Amino acid sequence: MTSESKVYKKRPHRKVKSGCATCKRRKIKCDEEKPQCSNCARYSAECIYPSPSTSDLSRDQVSASTSATPPHVPTPESVAEDLMAGQCPSTGHELPLRDLALLHQWHISTCYGFGDGSPGGSDPWRVEAPLLGQQCPFLMRGILAVSALHLARVATDQATRFKYIQEAAYHQDLALPEYRAAISNVTAQNCNAILAFSALLTVYSFAVPKDSGGLFVGGAPPEWIFLHRGVGDIPPKWQDWIDKGPMKEQMHRRRVQQVEPALNPDDYRLIGLHQILTNLPPGEQSEGLHYDQALHWLRQAFALTFSPESRIGPKYAVLFWVEKVDNGYLELLGLQRPRALVLLAHCCILLKRAANFWYLDGFAEHLLMELKPYLSDDFLPWIEWPLQACGVI
If you average pLDDT over residues 318-332, what whole number do you get?
A: 95
The type of residue at 363 is F
Q: Are residues 196 and 305 in the same domain?
A: no
Q: In this predicted model, what pLDDT tens digit does every residue of 122-170 receive, in sequence order? A: 899 999 999 999 999 999 999 999 999 999 999 999 999 999 999 999 9
- Tell me: do 33 and 132 sit in the same domain: no
Q: Of 75, 134, 127, whose CA–CA distance to 101 is shortest? A: 75
71 within some domain: no
The pLDDT value given to residue 121: 82
- The pLDDT, as a whole number, for residue 180 is 93
Residue pair 271/302 in contact by the 8 Å Cβ criterion: no
Q: Which domain holds residue 352?
A: 256-389
Same-domain status, 199 and 278: no
Would 201 be classed as within a structural domain? yes
Q: What is the pLDDT of residue 304?
A: 96
Structural domain contains residue 376: yes
**32 vs 271, higher pLDDT:** 271
Residue pLDDT, tens place only, 63-107: 333 333 344 444 545 545 544 444 444 444 567 899 999 999 999
Q: Which residue has the higher pLDDT, 119 or 170?
A: 170
Question: What CATH number does the domain containing 31 carry?
Answer: 4.10.240.10
Is 75 a member of any domain? Answer: no
User: How much is the pLDDT for 118?
Assistant: 72
CA dist 38 and 260 (Å) reads: 97
Q: Does residue 264 share a domain with residue 197?
A: no
Query: Are 290 and 373 within one domain?
Result: yes
Does the pLDDT of residue 27 top 80, yes or no?
A: no
Residue 216: pLDDT band (50, 70, 90) is: confident
Q: CA-to-CA distance for 102 and 80, rounded, in angstroms?
A: 7
Higher pLDDT, 240 or 352: 352
Same structural domain, 339 and 384: yes
pLDDT the model gives residue 62: 33
In this structure, are 211 and 127 located in the same domain?
yes
267 and 159 housed in the same domain: no
What integer best gives the mean pLDDT of the chain?
Answer: 83
- pLDDT value of position 80: 52
The tally of domains found in the chain comes to 3
Model confidence, pTM: 0.74
220 pLDDT band, cuts 50/70/90, is confident
Q: What is the mean pLDDT of residues 171-189?
A: 94
> Would residue 106 count as lying in a domain?
yes
Give the model's pLDDT for residue 393.
Answer: 72
Q: Is residue 103 part of a domain?
A: yes
Portion of the chain with pLDDT greater than 90, in percent: 56
Same domain, 332 and 261: yes
Looking at the structure, do residues 143 and 203 belong to the same domain, yes or no?
Answer: yes
The angle subtended at Cα 363 by Cα 150 and Cα 81, nearest 5°, is 15
- Residue 200 in any domain: the answer is yes
Examine the pLDDT at 379 and tell me if it is beyond 90.
Answer: yes
3-state secondary structure the chain: CCCCCCCCCCCCCCCCCCCCHHHHHHCCCCCCCCCCCHHHHHCCCCCCCCCCCHHHCCHHHHHHHHHCCCCCCCCHHHHHHHHHHCCCCCCCCCCCHHHHHHHHHHHHCHHHHCCCCCCCCCHHHHHHHHHHHHHCHHHHHHHHHHHHHHHHHHCCCHHHHHHHHHHHHHHHHHHHHHHHHHHCCCCCCCHHHHHHHHHHHHHHHHHCCCCCCCCCCCCCCCHHHHHHCCCCCCCHHHHHHHHCCCCHHHHHHHHCCCCCHHHCCCHHHHHCCHHHHHCCCCCCHHHHHHHHHHHHHHHHHHHHCCCCCCCCCHHHHHHHHHHHCCHHHHHHHHCCCHHHHHHHHHHHHHHHHCCCCHHHCCHHHHHHHHHHHHCCCCCHHHHHHHHHHCCCC
Same domain for 348 and 280: yes
Share of the chain above pLDDT 70, in %: 79
- Answer yes or no: do 124 and 43 share one domain: no
Residue 61 lies in a domain: no
